[in-house]
Chain A
Amino acid sequence: MEEELMSFAPRPAVQPWARVNTGRRIQILLASIVPILLTAAVILVTGLDRNVALMGVFLPLQLIAASAVGFRAFGRRGVGDAALIVFVVFFATFVLVLLASVVFSLVSQGAQAMSWGFFTQNNRYVSNTTSLEYGGVGHAIIGTLLVVGLTTVVTVPLGIAMAIYLTQSQSKTKGIIRTLTQAISGLPSVVAGLFILSIAITLDWQKSGFLGSMALLPLMLPTIARVAEEALRLVPVDLRYAALALGAPNYRAFFQVILPAAKSGLVTAILLGVARIIGETAPLILTVPINNGTSWNLFSGEIMTLPAYVYNYLGSAFVPSQNRAWGGALVLMILVAILFGATRILSRSKSLKSKPTKEKASK
């Protein structure tokens, strides 16, 4: 295949549809700049609030300008296209700026806490005024990985089993189960924590990391079940029929054909489930006792988690403690990025080996 492709003389890619004449280029440029200048002028002259001006002056002006250019070029259909482009670009930029500002404040405030020691040390012997060079979130990283890991190990099979039930069975209770699952996904996380706490009190259990895992379970389950259901639903029914027509029992058809075909979607389901719970604070505060030393024991004693760490230091009046809180939040974000990146690479590497090539014309 590749040899065949090589035998064609290489030609640079051309995109004749992308050519725009100079006149229109100038119009587009003007339509982009004039509204900005006018808005700036309005703000300077009237002293209007900037945010109000952005929505109330800039957006309408930009819409009018783009529509005018669109109308000159293509008539009425040009107006629709132009308006859509303005809306999409405007609100995409809006959301991106919001997102970037969150990341920026996290990075800028958390950066001063960053050091190798911060990742590896625990907080024993650290007081409110101890310099940032000492102590760290090592114990909280371990605790978060253990608590979230246990939740994931328990919830993923449950959630995928639910998704299998919702897609593969023809039972009449499916509708009710789906509705209930959606209802649970709106459950306030603090209620999940209180639920487990009340069970623990009733049964006279000690608070522990295990209880924290159980409190996170009802938050993770609906996410995994719903996303996995969509992933399984996307597998064409043809494939199932093909497997069954070859004499496969249902379970083999599922494990050998349907599950591999839905793999990337199921990985997404698990990732979204982890993302849903890894930053959850309220259930952990209610059910997990915190400490400053490293603990590997989920089932008894105290164990620190990153959200609890952040919560613990956030309200402090001391600057080093506030910096620790920011640092913990940044570490949580880095941890999520690493987990997601690694999972994506691991789940992709296998199918990369032989990518589907374009359909070859039969000779």
Chain B
Amino acid sequence: MNSLAKASTLSSENISVWFGQRQVLSDVNLVFPANKVTALIGPSGCGKSTFIRTLNRMHELIPGAGLAGSVYLDGKDIYAEDFDAVSVRIKIGMVFQKPNPFPTMTIRDNILSGLRLSGRKIENGDEVVETSLRRASIWNEVKDRLNDQAISLSGGQQQRLCIARSLAMNPQVLLMDEPCSALDPGSTRRIEETIQELSSSMTIVIVTHNMQQAQRVSDQTAFFLADDNTPGGVVEFGATEQIFNGPIDQRTNDYVNGHFG
């Protein structure tokens, strides 16, 4: 068994984001404590996905992107000059909205791809593959076909494979951008169980449009909103219980009860 990296605390300080001249996020201050699951909710276009991409420096890959503010990983600013994007992404893994396994690789190679891509030596590859697939609750389904192409899996299996691929890197933080939006209820339930189990060893941030999902999996919730033609921002942030059962802001109350968005 690999020694698991310790979960880390991640926090954002006054994060503002631009695409070209247009500001899309304004002053987001959030804290993601170690081993907690944080859900980011809000209507489409309010900047949740954009925000989560600033947390592991994927945001800067988009042409015309701009950013102000800081993101701290255990107190260190990941945008500091002596911190490079590659080492940030090794520590902070990401699962995308659409399953994106590498189509030219087998299931096994997909799991090991992170290690290969980051230039690490692979010792006990079989063990890494099994551990990662078990942690993503997909081991039993694929253990007999590890050398099949990854795209032969169903959509739900592909997404869990992508989670396993991130887990093989032993990240301290896992970012999930609507990981279940393209999946059926069964696959969604399995991924939610996986999230619960993973939170014992890492910090998780998940963007979701599914209110029930946010309530089921998260410890704390941030509600994002962008009013017409203004940059998005956090309206309310607190324990999930409080956001859903006793929100302070009227807009939060309207949103979680399905009155808009």
Contacts and interface: CB of A to CB of B under 8 A. Distances in A.
A257 B102 contact: yes
A246 B61 CA distance: 14
B86 interface: yes
A359 B106 contact: no
Interface string A223-243: 000000000000010110111
Given A245-B56, A362-B156, A256 B89 contact: no
B118 A246 contact: yes
A164 to B, nearest CB: 16
A34 to B, nearest CB: 51
Contacts of A355: 149
Contact of A238 (B87, B98, B148): B98
Given A241-B61, A356-B152, A260 B104 contact: yes
Given A242-B162, A244-B58, A246-B114, A362 B186 contact: yes
B96 A356 contact: no
Interface in A332-363: 351, 354-357, 359-363
Interface stretch (A64-72, A247-255, A320-328): A247-255
Contacts of A360: 152-154
A357 B117 contact: no
A252 B113 CA distance: 10
Interface string A257-297: 10011010000000000000000000000000000000000
Contacts of A7: none
Interface string B95-117: 01010111111100000011011
A277 B252 CA distance: 67
A91 B149 CA distance: 41
Interface string B157-189: 100001001100100000000000000101100
B90 interface: yes
Q: Is the interface of B mostly helix, strand, loop or mixed?
A: mixed
Contacts of A241: 58, 61, 96, 100
A4 to B, nearest CB: 13
A252 B90 CA distance: 14
Nearest to B88: A247
B246 interface: no
B120 to A, nearest CB: 9
A260 B109 CA distance: 13
Nearest to B115: A246
A11 B166 CA distance: 43
Contacts of B186: 362-363
A253 B117 contact: yes
Contact of B100 (A239, A252, A354, A359): A239
A249 B88 CA distance: 12
Can you list the 10 inter-chain pairs with the closest CB atoms, starting with the nearest?
A247-B90, A248-B117, A246-B114, A260-B104, A247-B118, A245-B94, A238-B100, A247-B89, A242-B100, A357-B152
